[in-house]
Amino acid sequence: MLINELVINPLLFFRIIVIVIASVCLHELAHGWAAVSQGDDTPKKTGHLTLNPVVHMGWYSIIFLCIGGICWGQMPVNPSKFRSPKWGNILVSAAGPLLNLALGILFLILLKVSFNSPLEGIVSSQFLLLGARINLMLFLFNLLPIPPLDGFHVFSEFFPSFKPLENSSYGLLALMIIFSTGLTSGLADLADLMIKVVSGM
């Protein structure tokens, strides 16, 4: 439980909370901006083009994050308004994970340039490394072809026969298995491998 870190290592707890909330909000905003670029004004009409984390995550998600380290966000879009239903959905769905990938790389770049530079005394290298790891994990996790994750929406556009699974209990069951069996540790290992490859650390 993430809440345990509040007692054991409060600095790490608050770093995780800040990074995750900021990353999830930017992830959802990327979906929104992509949807607007495809002709859908739903994000604007619903007031979701904002940095307010409560709008994107809601209090329940933020509370779950602080207690258990699990959270979610949402960006209302209307695919029927996309100029191209197929490619619009692919672009909008992929925008969130790609934003996390970009953030992960940005954190690694900042980590590289911070060594023996004025940044070293301003931003902690542990914070930058944590930011990279969390965002790369969010990138990998959201690309899993499991509903309601972004990866499923991309996958189902290429394989339409899987679209009926979107509203089934398959996704919830798969996610429960992933979290209950600790399979997310595999994503963490893969994120660490990506950090080593990109940064040479």
CA distance 175 to 183: 10
Q: Of 147, 157, 24, 144, which Cα lies nearest the Cα of 79?
A: 157
- Contact (CB, 8 A) for 148 and 166: yes
CB < 8 Å & 24+ apart, contacts of 2-10: 2/65, 2/66, 2/67, 2/68, 2/69, 3/66, 3/67, 3/68
- Contact (CB, 8 A) for 116 and 66: no
- Contact (CB, 8 A) for 28 and 96: yes
The single residue listed with the structure tokens 């607007």 is 36
User: Catalytic residue positions?
Assistant: 28
